[in-house]
Structure 1
């Protein structure tokens, strides 16, 4: 899909399309690259959810209100709600790890 803009024509890849095809890779290679990309994204989301679950568990175990947890985690109350509701798209992994460290949790990365 193309759109005219002030700087000329630009291409926009729709979410359901394969960006690698749009970048010029042949269909087989684009499919393989998309599959690898999807796998890496899923792993990252899984790591984020795991850290978020630990933080949410800590809040519950400590019987904290979100406003009190926010003070300890050095974020706003709505950010705590986002963690508890596992809104992974709103956080980087390092931000979540920083929050976990504030409550005495450590994270260990294992590369295989």
Structure 2
């Protein structure tokens, strides 16, 4: 569980709690790992779109989805997108996706999913 900061900023009465690496878990979402993964994949995808300076209609044509779905994607409304679909979108933007499975080093608890972008 995150720890309360011993010295909150002056002028505040609120306790400040240090979060984890997953804001969705901090907020109590049951599917926090999936949300974090989808958000990270969408961030990489949105960076690809931004670098190419594409309009949403151009992105829609490339991905084979309607423009309103592109709008949802670039605004991180990801409830209608699976992780698999986001991975397919990344390959449509000339990104290689590699999935690596390995034993957890500390052998404790549940494994985790991590998305890393290599620039």
Is the TM-score greater than 0.5? yes
- Which structure features the higher share of strand residues? 1
Distance in 2, Cα, partners of 1:109 & 1:67: 30
Larger relative contact order (Cα-Cα within 8 Å, sequence gap ≥ 6)? 2
Tell me the matched-pair count: 76
Q: Which runs of 5+ in 2 are unaligned?
A: 1-24, 103-119
* Aligned-residue offset at 1:107: 2.4
Larger radius of gyration: 1
2:54 aligned with 1:64, yes or no?
Answer: yes
- Which structure features the higher share of helix residues? 1
TM-score, scaled to structure 1: 0.60
Q: Which runs of 5+ in 1 are unaligned?
A: 1-34
Corresponding position of 1:41 = 31
* Aligned-residue offset at 1:44: 0.9
Q: CA RMSD in A?
A: 2.1
TM-score, scaled to structure 2: 0.57
Moved over 3 A (4+): none
